[in-house]
């Protein structure tokens, strides 16, 4: 029988984030690195090697100081040995320390806050979709790190629909949702997609924050800026991603907009609207509530009882995209939130909230939109 392999942990790859601060036998003490030029941190993604058949303990010592410590109780880290299927790992949180315990079957195991969506997968998605019939691709501009801000346009209808995701790069479920939306919208045999393409033109930005995604950030871009607080006054120096996207929206107009996110603490799927904008109209509100209630009837993975507090009249934060777009364009806008934990109304002990459920939710959102696109 050969000697045990040396254990190793690394994060020097696309979206990687972890710091090894100590090791004792099969136990590692770790810390999550902060977003560059920011105090935000919570996203982690690292690789464990040499641990086949060994009971490994991974302790993230600075979890209590993360951006949303309320996200840890009831949370389970995701683990994969083939980088295709991400399962929930045994995870506990106490005294500010997140502890993951796992026995890998092989000498390679990847751990992450949620199933990752790498920039390489993003490029594959864009390339795969851009060659499908009727799909047009353009770069809206470049990020501070020099990456392209990809936009895919589908459909020929008069209604202008904008779907955009990952303003906060660690919320990877948002791009899994985008993959599901694009797959449905480009399916020539899907009657809902055919109807939507005839009624509307879809402008889809699968990843608003490529720099933060590649750098392994939770919430910010290359210079530590939270893009979803820049929509009132974006700049080339701080937030070119928003600047370029808003310019394209201004050119096309916006009738419907969905900003796709993940929430660290709330174990449910929900949407947040634009209550409190100065230019609120009852018609906007009625359509927003119609979408929300229709989606709740369509899928048990969505609910309306739990979510964020509603802003008082005239008190909406116009630096956030949903509020800014609804106020600026008079459109129906919303922020979709999916959990890092699970949907507690319909839990899945093996996978929790997952890429597959994110993609299915996208299909359900598009079917819901199809029921009301003519009235928007």
pLDDT tens string 225-258: 999 999 999 999 999 999 999 999 999 999 999 9
Q: Categorize the per-residue pLDDT at 5 as very low, low, confident or very high, splitting at 50, 70 and 90.
A: confident
For residue 224, the 8-state DSSP code is S
With the CA atoms of 214, 61, 266 and 328 taken in that order, what torsion angle do they form, in degrees rounded to the nearest 10? -40
pLDDT tens-digit series, residues 250-292: 999 999 999 999 999 999 999 999 999 999 999 999 999 999 9
* pLDDT for position 4: 81
CATH 2.60.40.3120 residue ranges for the chain: 8-112
CATH 1.20.1090.10 at 8-112, yes or no: no
Q: Let me know: does 248 contact 203? Beta carbons within 8 Å.
A: yes
Per-residue b or e along 322-346, where b marks 16 or more CB atoms closer than 10 Å to that residue's CB: bbbbbbbbbbbbbbbbbbbbbbeee
Question: In sequence order, what E strands does the chain have?
Answer: 8-10, 19-24, 27-31, 45-49, 56-60, 78-80, 87-88, 90-94, 97-102, 108-112, 135-142, 148-154, 159-165, 200-205, 256-263, 270-272, 332-339
Of 305, 359, 351, 376, the closest CA to residue 87 belongs to: 351
256-263 vs 159-165, strand pairing mode:
parallel
Q: Is 63's pLDDT higher than 90?
A: yes
Q: Is 1's pLDDT higher than 60?
A: no
Interval 105-134 mean pLDDT = 98
Q: Is 20's pLDDT higher than 60?
A: yes
CATH 3.40.630.10 residue ranges for the chain: 119-375
Calculate the average pLDDT of the chain. 98
Residues in Cβ contact with 163 at an 8 Å cutoff, skipping those fewer than 6 apart: 178, 181, 202, 203, 204, 205, 257, 258, 260
Residues tagged active-site: 337
pLDDT tens-digit series, residues 296-325: 999 999 999 999 999 999 999 999 999 999
Q: Which CATH class is domain 119-375?
A: alpha beta
| pTM, 2 dp | 0.98
* pLDDT for position 2: 61
How far from chain centre, in Å, is Cα 166? 5
* pLDDT for position 260: 99
Place of tokens 């594959």: 124
Question: Residue 197's CB: how many other CB atoms inside 10 A?
Answer: 19
């Amino acid at each position: 029988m050969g000697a045990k392999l040396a254990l190793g942990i690394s994060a020097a790859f696309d979206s990687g984030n972890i710091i090894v601060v100590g090791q004792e036998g099969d136990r590692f003490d770790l810390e999550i690195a902060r977003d560059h030029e920011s105090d935000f941190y919570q996203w982690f993604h690292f690789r464990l090697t040499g641990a086949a058949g060994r009971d490994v303990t991974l302790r993230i010592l600075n979890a209590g100081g993360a951006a949303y410590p309320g996200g840890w109780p009831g949370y389970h880290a995701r683990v994969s040995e083939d980088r295709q299927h991400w399962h929930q790992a045994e995870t506990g949180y106490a005294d500010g320390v997140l502890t993951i315990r796992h026995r890998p079957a092989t000498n390679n195991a990847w751990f992450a806050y949620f199933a990752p969506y790498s920039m390489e997968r993003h490029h594959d998605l864009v390339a795969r979709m851009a060659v499908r019939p009727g799909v047009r691709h353009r770069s809206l501009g470049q990020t501070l790190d020099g990456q392209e801000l990809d936009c895919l346009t589908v459909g020929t209808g008069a209604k202008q629909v904008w779907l955009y995701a990952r303003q906060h790069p660690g919320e990877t479920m948002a791009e899994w949702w985008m993959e599901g939306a694009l797959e449905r919208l480009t399916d020539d045999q899907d009657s809902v997609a055919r109807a939507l393409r005839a009624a509307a033109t879809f402008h889809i930005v699968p990843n608003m924050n490529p720099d933060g995604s590649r750098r392994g950030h939770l919430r910010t871009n290359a210079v530590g800026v939270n893009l979803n607080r820049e929509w009132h006054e974006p700049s080339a120096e701080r937030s070119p991603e928003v600047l370029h996207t808003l310019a394209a929206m201004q050119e096309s107009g916006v009738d419907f907009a969905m900003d796709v996110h993940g929430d660290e603490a709330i174990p449910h799927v929900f949407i947040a609207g634009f209550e409190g904008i100065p230019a609120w109209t009852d018609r906007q509100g009625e359509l927003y509530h119609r979408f929300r209630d229709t989606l709740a009837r369509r899928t048990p993975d969505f609910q309306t009882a739990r979510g964020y507090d509603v802003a008082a009249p005239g008190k909406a934060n116009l630096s956030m995209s949903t509020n800014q777009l609804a106020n600026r364009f008079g459109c129906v806008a919303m922020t979709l939130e999916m959990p890092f934990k699970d949907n507690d109304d319909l839990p899945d002990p093996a996978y929790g909230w997952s890429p597959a459920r994110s993609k299915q939710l996208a299909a359900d959102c598009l079917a819901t939109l199809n029921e009301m696109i003519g009235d928007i």
